[in-house]
Chain A
Amino acid sequence: MRRTLALLAAILGVLAISACGGGSSSASTTGGSGGGSAPPKYDGKPVTITFWHPFTQRQADDMNAIVADFEKQYPNIKVVSRGGISDQNIIAAIRSGNPPDVAFSQSSDNLGEYCGTGAWINLAPYLAADHLSASAFPTAVQQYTQFSGDRCALPDLADAYGLYYNKTMLAKAGITSPPKTFDELTADAKKLTVFNPDGSIKIAGFVPVSTYYENAAAHYAPLWNAHWDINGKSAFATDPGWAKYLTWEKQLIDWYGVSKLTKFVSGAGNEFSPQNDFERGRVAMNLDGEWRVAFVTSDKSNVDYGTAPMPVDPAQPQLYGAGYTTGNVLGIPRDAKHKAAAWLLLKYLAFNNGAVEKFAEGLRNVPTLTSALSDPVLTGDPHFAVFLKIFGNPNTASDPITAIGSANQTMEGNWQQKWEAGSVSDLTAGLKSVDSAIDAQVANSTIGKAP
């Protein structure tokens, strides 16, 4: 019912726009909450807009299909899409004054830079002019698409992270259900690991190394209830969750042996190819995003697998079911040349229920429109439904948006590599040094900036 209503609304919207092509309408709603002047309206003239997105190959095809639908609705707007774009590309393009009309970023990490500086324009006036509201998105999504009250981005699908396990291997090792705590994960990983005659690792039960695939520390933080910052100060030393996570990780790494694991990891297949280690049975369990469901299908992998929430801190079993989430964010860069037409594409991608569902079904990503969360195609897939649940869990969290973008994650990651290799003797002192390095970088990056 809701779906048809949304569709109807979309059709009506299209009719309204095409009916008043001359621009004679009285749509001059005042800026509303955004406080700005009325945004420019698309005048219906033929226009070509550029659209940058991160997808490649199969996922790019899905993206392009949605864009093609959009172009069918707005025959005068031609969208030139460019895939394979990273955040670094977007940031550099904005700073160089030569950005696309619509930018699609796969993480909200840099939203602080996009919103806080006006690099992406405030969308509040556009929303108000079209009588749209961000309340159409789940609360968590509303939060990661704005920065300190400035709504500069809209969501289009989100990612939730969970555990993938190889059923055949678990059964062979006599494990009946996937692990629920990290202690169980360690025990299972040891049982599942197979060594070659020369002592090297043939099949790893679970690889905890932070540089491996999706194993970044950020994806573990919610599972240990660890926080990146407390009261604006980096919190690696002050939040005990980090030490617990790192100690657990180190113990498992040491069980394998650092050099054996390094060698194993360097033989990994490309993450987004059929040679992905999980898909070709080189690891028994893996932390990964919900998109892997679609990859397993499209790569024609014959892995018999199950999905579950990631295990959690044994001392906080109530966390089970939570996970890391992050979402795609879309925005219009400040120097975009065709903002009015860009807004139409943005609106279509974020608010059009049909578009969101079609895209979510294609990529097998979590939809970000509340109305699309009940899409039967998505909920009907047991592998995928797990991730919808993780997404809805109250303890599921993302990483905070900082003034230094993801520099804090880079700095933590560099240090963590040393920790994993065993070249850090004092964990607390090490974490303190990371904290002070990050705080110093934040101080240097924000000095002279308006508070």
Chain B
Amino acid sequence: MATVASEVRAPVIRRTIPWSVRRRRLLVAIADHSILIALAIVFLAPFVFIVLTALMSNQQALTTHLWPQPFKFSNVTHVFDTAPMLRYAGNTFMYASLATLGLVVSSVPVAYALACLRWRGRNLAFICVLLAMMLPPQVTIIPVYVMFAHLHLVGTVWPLIIPNWFGDAFSIFLLRQFFMTIPNEYLDAARIDGCGELRIMFQVVARMAKPAIAAVALFSVLLCWNDFFGPLLYTLQNPAHWTLSVGLSQFRNQYSVQWNLVMAGTIVFMAPVILLFFFAQKAFVEGITLTGVKG
């Protein structure tokens, strides 16, 4: 494209674009969009198949038919009769809400200290945060598990919640990166006005960093909702404390169901997250961008 146009471009741009170039551009755009549409179909297909399978009968789920005949919409409610989905959802909700609350409350001040206060050892502390963020959790799970076992908390969701109350490395990192972008003049002005650091954090920084805090909270809710390894480790031994992820992973064996009900359960599990996404899409995208670009 460029080779053809390179010599004649300068005058061409000023005049009307010739038909051949326009046609070429149109064709390229059509090709681009066709590829994108094809990719979009591939990306959406699993959702479509999951929904279709969820509406099949037991017998049909064991055949190769793609289209439910008849549509069994009752499957989605039947899931709730088969397994204590509401209890799982309750446990998941408790985990997600308490963990997120604690995470925000504890991470904001730490990020503030790392970004807005100046003190010796600050860089070292930040490196510790990075370290905790980078290293695989498997490195500490055994001693932490033993610790919670001694506290008789294994078999509950508390081992999943409690660590979040003491700062989460990823959230601290993210918030710090955002706090760093707040101009020092705002803070200094507040200090000159005689504000304490606590007040500055709440009234200046937290207010300006609302999108970042929202993103951190959103990520936390999402991570807790989707978390599998933690609940597997700590709640597998006690079905009363299963979260949706563990409950669903045990679904087929535990309740002797076919794939159709597993897929119906999957929909019940996915739906809230996808709804949340559509309501908070902006915060999501901003948050993710924050992690990457400012890194």
Contact = CB atoms under 8 A, between A and B. Distances in A.
Direct contact of A and B (CB under 8 A): yes
Interface of A: 56-57, 82, 84-85, 88-90, 92-93, 95-98, 267, 269-275
A89 B59 contact: no
A267 B61 CA distance: 10
B62 A275 contact: yes
Interface string B144-183: 0000111011111000000000000000000000000000
B122 interface: no
Contacts of B148: 96
B62 A267 contact: yes
Contacts of B154: 92-93, 95-98
A57 B256 contact: yes
B240 interface: yes
Contacts of A57: 255-256
A96 B237 contact: yes
A269 B62 contact: yes
B51 interface: no
A335 B154 CA distance: 14
Contact of A89 (B238, B253, B257): B238
B258 interface: yes
Nearest to A274: B58
Contacts of B237: 88-90, 92-93, 96, 98
A303 to B, nearest CB: 15
B58 A273 contact: yes
Contacts of B58: 273-275
A275 B258 contact: yes
Query: Which 8 A-B residue pairs are closest in the complex by CB-CB distance?
Result: A96-B154, A92-B237, A272-B256, A96-B149, A93-B237, A273-B256, A89-B237, A98-B155
Contact of B256 (A88, A90, A95, A270): A270
B187 to A, nearest CB: 47
A273 B255 CA distance: 9
Interface string B52-68: 00000011001000000
A272 B254 CA distance: 10
Q: Main secondary structure on chain A at its contact with chain B?
A: loop
Contacts of B258: 269-270, 273, 275
Contacts of A271: 256
A93 B238 contact: yes
A92 B236 contact: yes
A265 B250 CA distance: 20
Interface in B279-295: none
Contacts of B150: 97
A89 B253 CA distance: 14
Interface string B228-240: 0000000011111
A84 B256 CA distance: 11
23 contacts: A56-B254, A56-B256, A57-B255, A88-B236, A89-B238, A89-B239, A90-B237, A92-B154, A93-B154, A95-B149, A95-B154, A96-B149, A96-B154, A98-B155, A98-B156, A269-B258, A270-B252, A270-B258, A272-B256, A273-B58, A273-B257, A273-B258, A275-B62
Contacts of B155: 92-93, 96, 98
A272 B253 CA distance: 8
Contacts of B255: 56-57, 84
Which residue among A56, A92, A93 has the maximum number of chain B CB atoms within 10 Å of its CB? A92
B5 to A, nearest CB: 54
A274 B238 CA distance: 28
Contacts of A267: 62
B262 to A, nearest CB: 10
A278 B254 CA distance: 20
Given A84-B254, A270-B252, A275-B59, A98 B152 contact: yes
B254 to A, nearest CB: 5
A97 B152 contact: yes
Nearest to B237: A92
A376 B58 CA distance: 37
A269 B256 CA distance: 9
Nearest to A271: B256
Given A89-B238, A93-B154, A96-B149, 7 more contacts: A56-B255, A82-B239, A84-B250, A93-B237, A93-B238, A270-B256, A273-B58
A270 B61 CA distance: 11
A96 B233 CA distance: 11
Nearest to B82: A57
A267 B63 CA distance: 8
B238 A98 contact: yes
Contacts of A96: 148-149, 152-155, 237
Contacts of B149: 95-97
Nearest to A84: B254
